[in-house]
Amino acid sequence: MKVVLLDLETHFSTPQVEEAMDLVRETTEYDLTQPQAGYFHCLSKNPDYHVEMALTEEGFVTAKCHCAVFKRSKICPHAIASLMILRDHKIRNRRVRSKSKHEKLLLDEVLRKLNITELRKFISDYGHSHSAFRAEVLAYYLHRIRKPDYHHLLTDMTPMDKFGVIKLNRNNLKSVRNIVSILLRQAQDLLKDNALPQTIQILEAVIHHLYRLMIKVPQFQDQLATELKHALKLFDAFCQLPMAPRLQKTALTLAMEVSARDGFILLKGTHTLLRSAEPFILEKKARIAAFQLVESKISLENPQRILWACLWLRWTRVWGIESKHKKIKTILKSSTPDILTELQSQRAYDDILFVLSNTRVEQFPQPIAHHMLQIGLKAARLLGDEKSGQTFAYALSTIHHDKDAWETLFSLDADRAIKSLTIVQEYNKPNEHKEVEDFLLHGFQLSGQKKMLLDRLAALDDIHQLMRYDSSLIASHTVALAELYARQMNALRDTYGGESVRRQLTTIVYHLKDVDLHTLVMEEIKKMEKTDTQTNTASSTIKGFIFDLDGVIVDTAEHHFLSWKKILKQLGADITEEDDRHTRGASRIESLEYLLAKYQINLSQKEKEHWAAKKNDLYLLSIEEITPRDLLPGVLAFLLDAKKAGLSIALGSASKNAKTVLEKLAIENRFDAILDGTSTKKSKPDPEIFVKCCKAMNLEPGEVVVFEDAVKGVQAALAAGCKVVGIGDAAILHEADFTMTGLDQSTPTQILEKLK
């Protein structure tokens, strides 16, 4: 007796099968053993029988029973029942553990030999209550049959009542989902093996079936969505693969059907599919239908509208279809930047150029327009479209001052690149926008326009740019470059004072040494100083400067005032800002006298001395921490430049603490003469201090300018016959020749010019 194990029923007559089935039910105690590979023994005690079976690799099984009936006719109910037990055992085994490769092949072989009718019969008879098993068998083996009808099978396996209405509940939903998962797993394997026609057969049936179920039993939508997502993911991957035209058509139809459903996504793979299918698959009617479908998806409410719009634009371009809807155009217009970004991520460079050729980029805000053009330039370069590339690069250079784009333009059309530089130069004054300067200098350097580079650098107040771009000028414009450095280094010193300038100058000197320009620049600086001195002394009658200390060189005026405030508080009075005007410039004791008189406080001489000393203690305490950093802005540079201009300089302060303060500021050696509160008897506005300063400098008062922050000081200087520059509020210091807010506001040369 030689039969196929899985198809026993067709080998025996119905009464034989029925008898065997009864026997199986009766056989409650039996042992099924496998003494060696492919051999089985079925030993039953009740009823008593013993059958030996041998299973060949081809799937055939032979059985030999030890009963008399078998000996006689080579067939007996024991043998058939044992085969059924064996089959049962194998199926059970297969369900609990995954099939070994060998078993799989075996089963494969067996099923291959069955025809569809036999298979169907087997499945529906045997696996009636085992839907998962049925699906598994179907999934694994059905695709081997030429035209498997998955639609039919899925419907077949979906619970329905006798009127054909789908009856899903929580229990049978599980098995339906199971069936679908098994089919999808199979589709996934087939896809891996590149068996595309078989894959799409399963996917198409499953996707449609799932949609159908979701509509019919909406309460299970969430659960079914898991399988649907999986199916769409597979389909998405499917669409990305190259395939034969017939298959493309099927895939495209399915893609469109999926897309046409509300709320469902546009699969990324659709783009790939379309790209390969577009030129030869779709007929005009189909194209228009597809186009209209996409159009219906472009609405402000649809979060995926950008993706749809990209598709719409693509078809407009590829198929030359025109839309009549104005609303779409408005939506598209406002979304152009997003569309371009999406197209870039899809690498749809043709579409990018198409969109840009229909867009007025300049209507978008600058940074957005800049980005749009950058996308365009990249696309043009990748497509090798020189003409578009030039157009974008020119706009990016001229309007957006984009250095990279300019380089591209230069490589494509040097003349146009230079023209762009000229335009930017014409429309932008030097020093207004840093990015314009970077753009121009970079362009001039790269295009070898040395004269332009030098001129622009000369027009800038930016020595750092000079350091960055000097390399291309050193050989050809050495002297001009040295002059420029000398001028800018002087200007740097004039404009700012203090530590930061010193540090900057040191960096510049190191750089100059590096590029071998140091000696030449230093010579230039000396030359300039010489001419400065000559012009000053030749043209000006002014030969000396006198500086007040508190409020001109250092901000100690505030400390004087606050110390007085504290003292007067102790004496029972609240002094005001107005009082500051009267004590500023006045000697210590005169300041006290003024305040006592104003607040009607009577003190003896001894008491006055006591409180004046106390104020000084407070003042000294407050200035204890003063360092050179506390010099008012521009002071050091001003003193140095005054010296360089050949002027004598003196200090004329009413303060008895002047020398201490000067030491703390480390500038005591900068003065030709220092006169302070210890050198005079009379206090400002008496001219005594300034007259003495002039004498010490050997100058006539008419040859001297005094810098003063106090009204009393201004009056003293005028009384001495000097010129006065008021440092502070012009309204308060209106008697001065002119005023400025600090020494950082001007240079000695400019002061001399002004006083001429």
616 binds ligand BG6 (CB under 6 A): yes
The percent of the chain in helix, strand and coil, each rounded to the nearest 5, is 65, 10, 25
Residues noted as catalytic: 548, 550
710 binds ligand BG6 (CB under 6 A): yes
Give every CB contact of residue 514 below 8 A, 6+ residues apart in sequence.
none
724-731 CB contacts, 8 Å cutoff, 24+ apart: 725/751, 727/548, 727/551, 727/552, 728/551
Tokens 């500086």 belong to 547
Shortest Cβ distance from residue 660 to ligand BG6 (Å)?
Answer: 9
Q: How many residues bind Mg ion (CB under 5 A)?
A: 5
717 binds ligand BG6 (CB under 6 A): no
Task: Pick one of 656, 659, 695, 754: the residue that binds ligand BG6 (CB under 6 A).
Answer: 656
- Choose the contact partner of 657 out of ligand BG6, Mg ion, none; CB within 5 to 8 A by kind: ligand BG6
550 binds Mg ion (CB under 5 A): yes
Token pair, residue 8, equals 């026993």
Query: Between residues 405 and 710, which has the closer beta carbon with respect to Mg ion?
Result: 710
Task: Pick one of 591, 680, 715, 739: the residue that binds ligand BG6 (CB under 6 A).
Answer: 591
- Stretch of 33-41, 206-214, 463-471, 655-663 contacting ligand BG6, by CB under 6 A: 655-663
* Three-state secondary structure call for residue 131: helix
Three state DSSP letters for 687-739? CHHHHHHHHHHCCCHHHEEEEECCHHHHHHHHHHCCEEEEECCCCCCCCCCEE
- Choose the contact partner of 586 out of ligand BG6, Mg ion, none; CB within 5 to 8 A by kind: ligand BG6
560 binds ligand BG6 (CB under 6 A): yes
| Closest C-alpha to 454, from 474, 434, 432 | 474
Task: Pick one of 559, 584, 664, 723: the residue that binds ligand BG6 (CB under 6 A).
Answer: 584
Tokens 């990249």 belong to 378
Residues 666-685 that bind ligand BG6 (CB under 6 A): 677
Buried b / exposed e over 353-368, threshold 16 CB at 10 Å, is bbbbeebebeebeeee
744 binds Mg ion (CB under 5 A): no
- Stretch of 83-91, 473-481, 510-518, 540-548 contacting Mg ion, by CB under 5 A: 540-548
- 166 DSSP assignment: B
- Choose the contact partner of 560 out of ligand BG6, Mg ion, none; CB within 5 to 8 A by kind: ligand BG6
Shortest Cβ distance from residue 636 to Mg ion (Å)?
Answer: 18
CA–CA distances in Å: residue 680 to residues 427, 667, 693: 61, 22, 11
**Cα–Cα distance between 633 and 618 in angstroms, integer?**
26
CB count in 10 Å sphere of residue 475:
9
Residue 546's beta-bridge partner residues?
650, 706
199 binds ligand BG6 (CB under 6 A): no
Query: Between residues 259 and 583, which has the closer beta carbon with respect to ligand BG6?
Result: 583
Give every CB contact of residue 518 below 8 A, 6+ residues apart in sequence.
509, 512
- Choose the contact partner of 654 out of ligand BG6, Mg ion, none; CB within 5 to 8 A by kind: ligand BG6
For the window 268-297, what string marks contact with ligand BG6 as x by the rule CB under 6 A?
------------------------------
Shortest Cβ distance from residue 551 to Mg ion (Å)?
Answer: 4
317 binds ligand BG6 (CB under 6 A): no
Interacting residues toward Mg ion by CB under 5 A: 548, 550-551, 709-710
Interacting residues toward ligand BG6 by CB under 6 A: 549-550, 557, 560, 583-588, 591, 616, 653-657, 677, 710
